[in-house]
Amino acid sequence: MTTDSDAPAWPAPRARRPVDLAVTLPGSKSLMNRALLLAALADGPSLVRRALRSRDSLLMAGALEALGADLDTSGEHWRVAPGAFDRDAAIDCGLAGTVMRFVPPAAALSSGVVAFDGDPYMRSRPVGEVLAALVGLGVDVRDEGRGALPFTLHGSGHVRGGRVVLDASQSSQFISALLLSGARYDEGVDVRHDGKPVPSLPHIDMTVAVLREHGVEVDDTDANRWAVAPGPIRAVDRTIEPDLSNAAPFLGLAALTGGTVLVHDWPEHTTQPGAVLPDLLTQMGCTATLEEQGLRLTGPDGGRSALSGLDADLHDVGELTPAIAALCALATTPSHLRGVAHIRHHETDRIAALAKELDALGAEVVEHPDGLSFSPATLHGGRFGTYADHRMAHAGTLVGVAVDDVLVEDIACTSKTFPDFAGFWSGLLERD
Ligand SMILES: O=C(O)C1=C[C@@H](OP(=O)(O)O)[C@@H](O)[C@H](O)C1
Ligand SMILES: C=C(OP(=O)(O)O)C(=O)O
């Protein structure tokens, strides 16, 4: 699946009255790619139910197959059988952080030569801390000192493992990456973080929880230290939860129109960061209830014209920033989103991109080193650049709900985590 930035921009559908919708969302990218990787490293075959079929999950599947695992991705439930990692391979990371960071520690177990590359922008997303950590754990990594794509791992069929210190202040994925494969290292892995606070901690909790479900022993009792004991990774059949971060535009639709959206299968307990969306949107004037059928979110009476701004530190849940920022740009009182300097290393520099694109549509937005602030403004139509970033596309789509003539560039980039987002979204608004 590719994205085409030269395709005509997509006219984001406007919603002129309160919506009343129920949606079943595709699976979580983060849970899906952890499930696939652990299934490929496990001690037997497993089934990944309600698999997410998106660019990132297909890239992960392709990477694991190239290493030697056997995957059947033809149906709704994907079968994964581990295989010997004994061949040379070329891995395409696309723009998937989870592939570029999570696969190298697994590829280090191979006896082959494994080459990594990805989309042009991926070459500037950071991975050097993971590569340096692998070198410290005994792996032969060749990156010509770049600390970035492209790089090659020359495997010996096993990894010594042991203690390693790294700075994960740019991405929690650096830690998750080492933990996910660590049980298969001779000495396991004992990872310490040294640096400014690690962002997106719920994603590390997700890694630890998933590992424990696979019977892996993880010690996370001390702050900034995670130790994985050596041992087998048990094969587990699992069902992928809906992607709660991708629920953001749908919940935003309720918030902007003063309508109601029910998201089916919202888990009662989850490590997904999107779990905080009901709380954030409640602070903006929405009402949320968790019911048997799912999460029901109702926007304030009057929708956008009654939507309050938000003052929030999104350090733990940075991937929610684009959709929340779009709502803040449209809100009737000021907002300040803080603590997300790390999202400058996401699919694009999201702080700069949001400031530029929302400003171009008339938003009163100020860019800060670690976030954005907004004052109420009247927005107008125009083109909304997305920089190949699915969550920028969600942000533009949300502005288009409330503002005439918003054209979202390269809407196909949403395929990263959501199959046919544009078709799904348009279908909802046509039906309503
Ligand atoms: O482990 C994961 O699945 C993710 C971790 C987070 O990365 P950062 O720690 O780089 O923010 C998150 O933003 C990303 O979308 C998915
Ligand atoms: C940061 C994100 O993705 P990635 O897994 O590529 O880092 C994201 O989906 O918001």
ipTM comes to 0.99
Please give the pLDDT value at position 5.
52
Nearest CA to ligand 2 atom 3: 97
How many CB atoms are closer than 10 A to CB 175?
Answer: 28
Give me the CATH topology for the region 10-27+242-431: UDP-n-acetylglucosamine1-carboxyvinyl-transferase; Chain (3.65.10)
Q: Give me the residue label for tokens 């929030």.
A: 312
Q: Strand, coil or helix: what is 261? A: strand
As a whole number, the mean pLDDT across the chain is 97
Segment 364-373 mean pLDDT: 98
102-134 pLDDT tens trace: 999 999 999 999 999 999 999 999 999 999 999
pLDDT of residue 45 exceeding 70: yes
312-345 pLDDT tens trace: 999 999 999 999 999 999 999 999 999 999 999 9
Task: Read off the pTM.
Answer: 0.97
| Closest alpha carbon to 119 in 92, 99, 142, 101 | 92
346 lines ligand 2 (CB under 6 A): yes
Task: Place 7 in a pLDDT band, splitting at 50, 70 and 90.
Answer: confident
Task: Place 430 in a pLDDT band, splitting at 50, 70 and 90.
Answer: confident
Quote the ligand 2 centre to 100 CA distance (angstroms).
11
Task: Place 1 in a pLDDT band, splitting at 50, 70 and 90.
Answer: very low
What are the C-alpha distances in Å from 155 to residues 17, 65, 70, 88, 323? 59, 17, 20, 9, 41
Quote the ligand 1 centre to 17 CA distance (angstroms).
35
As annotated, the active-site residues are 319
388 lines ligand 2 (CB under 6 A): no
Report the CATH architecture of 29-239.
Answer: Alpha-beta prism (3.65)
Task: Place 60 in a pLDDT band, splitting at 50, 70 and 90.
Answer: very high
State both tokens at 423. Answer: 């078709």
Instruction: Say which ligand is closest to the CA of 314.
Output: 1
State both tokens at 330. Answer: 């449209």
C-alpha–C-alpha distance, residues 166 and 175, integer Å: 8
96 lines ligand 2 (CB under 6 A): yes
Please give the pLDDT value at position 432.
63
**Residue 287 forms beta bridges with which residues?**
298
Full strand arrangement of the beta sheet holding 335-338: 311-313, 335-338, 371-375, 364-368
> Could you tell me where in the chain the CATH 3.65.10.10 domains are found?
10-27+242-431, 29-239
